[in-house]
Structure 1
Amino acid sequence: MSEVLSEAAHIGQALLLLAAQTGLRVSEIIDLDRDSVMLGHGAHVRCVGKGRKERSTPLTKVAQQALRGWLNEPRKRGATALFPNTHGGKLSADGVQALLNKYVAKAREHCVPLRSKRVSPHVLRHSAAMELLQAGVDCSVIALWLGHEAMETTLTYLHAHLELKESALAKLKPYERAKAERFRPNDRLLEFLNAL
């Protein structure tokens, strides 16, 4: 029984870390095979995104460690899918959501603000984008990272990022209050106005 729990913990940790760190779409995560993950120097994951476009996303050391632990688990029925279901096939989107729900329920026990929030795999994608933005990564790089077709999609994160707006505001010079003086028109202006 402890082996099953260990396996469940490994798949959950690996899948959630991968999703949160890479910002992959749930469809991209589901389609990953074991050979999509390259560990070691230049560690990354290769996926096929929208429009059948292939891209590679780098992996942090923490994500590498979690994936290494998961890949060391015995394969289910010779599965080639990175995250297989109980029959060895590809995990479904509902399966990913169920796994996420399990860990969110545990997190809600300790994190009160999380109790009122709905967490989906897409929320993890948004979190990855916001983390990159907060780290100062350029929007064009974030667009490539997430596999966005149009830059406008990525720019929505800029609108959502209040801290970024506040730091831009802090860079502005404060307006100096001018002395409130009464306006005194010159003679030419008075002549013009009188002629009207």
Structure 2
Amino acid sequence: MAAIKSFFRFLEYRQPAALDQVRRVLAIPFKKTDTRLVPYLLREELQALLDAPDPTTRDGIRDRAMLHMAVCAGLRVSELTGLKIGDIDMSSMSIRVVGKGRRERALPLWKPAATALRAWLAIRGKVATPEVFVSARGEPLSRWGFAYLLKQHAAVAARRQQGLAKKRVSPHVLRHTCAMIILQATQDIRKVSLWLGHATLTTTEVYTRGDPTEKLEAMEEIVPPHLRRGTFQPTDKLIALLKSTS
């Protein structure tokens, strides 16, 4: 339906004779679908996932840095796997991210993420590819490779946090988790939008529906109507009935 409407909007200015038909097509409503809450990880679940990689191995140090970067910066999987050495500013420990529509944004790193990234860069070695995260053969990791590693670490973390076993932990869930952390910390949807690189606030508003803290704050400010008090006085017939059945 979206493709058809886009095509008819194209025809609207090029075929005036078909304007009536074009308007009838554009007036067709979209099918209503369920709008679900965005899935994200709770703080304990997130910590268990970040602790899953083994920091005594090369792959573990790499995976730990990738997970921290994905959550800290709220990166899309393509932004994470496409991150290059030249995009990292070691002096300020910030990164430059090129997102959708070639929109660039600069993001500071949380201290744990910066520490994890430094540890990985120290053992990454000299490889031909400019991507930050590479395999043992020096080849850049693909988005499917990261999704596979994430699935493995989520299974390990689920042994410590049973709630993870019931959740589908995908790369985009890490991005949602970052958004919820920022929203709960700042209570400012505009900062979430800037952090994630959204083009409009409309895309970011979905996180306000999934955050219960704003609703709780609203409840504290609301003065609800009074409840009429009263004491229930059962009739004698009811008491007699209850005694007869006891």
TM-score range, shorter chain: 0.7 to 0.9
Segments of structure 1 that go 5 or more residues without pairing to the other structure are 180-196
**Any conservation in 2 of the 1:25–1:122 contact (CA below 8 Å)?**
yes
Please report how far the alpha carbon of residue 169 of structure 1 lies from its aligned counterpart in structure 2 after TM superposition: 1.4
- Tell me the amino acid that sits aligned with residue 84 of structure 2: D
Once the two structures are overlaid, the 10-residue window that deviates more, 170-179 or 90-99, is 170-179
Q: Which amino acid aligns with 2:65?
A: A
* Aligned: 1:28 with 2:79: yes
Range moving further from structure 2, 130-139 or 80-89: 80-89
Cα distance in 1 between the residues matched to 2:160 and 2:228: 52
Which structure 2 residues correspond to residues 1-196 of structure 1 after superposition, within 5 A? 6-40=57-91, 42-75=92-125, 77-176=127-226
**Residue 189 of structure 1: aligned partner:** none
Structure 1 length as normaliser, TM-score? 0.82
Note the C-alpha offset of 1:138.
1.2
List runs of 5+ in structure 2 lacking aligned partners: 1-54, 230-246
1:7 CA displacement: 0.9
Aligned residue in 1 for 2:22: none
Please give the alpha-carbon distance, in whole angstroms, between the structure 1 residues aligned to 2:82 and 2:199.
Answer: 19
Q: TM-score, normalised by structure 2?
A: 0.66
Q: Which aligned runs of 4 or more in structure 1 are off by greater than 3 angstroms?
A: 76-79, 176-179
> Percent identity of the aligned residues?
37
Match of 1:185 in 2: none
**Equivalents in 2 of 1:121, 1:47: separation in Å?**
16
Post-superposition shift, 1:178?
A: 7.8
Rounded Cα–Cα distance in structure 2 between residues aligned with 1:105 and 1:177? 49
SS of 1:56's partner is: strand
Q: Which stretch of structure 1 is more off in the superposition, 153-162 or 82-91?
A: 82-91
- In structure 2, C-alpha distance between the alignment counterparts of 1:85 and 1:176, rounded to whole Å: 64
C-alpha contact 1:76 1:87 (8 A) present in aligned 2:
no
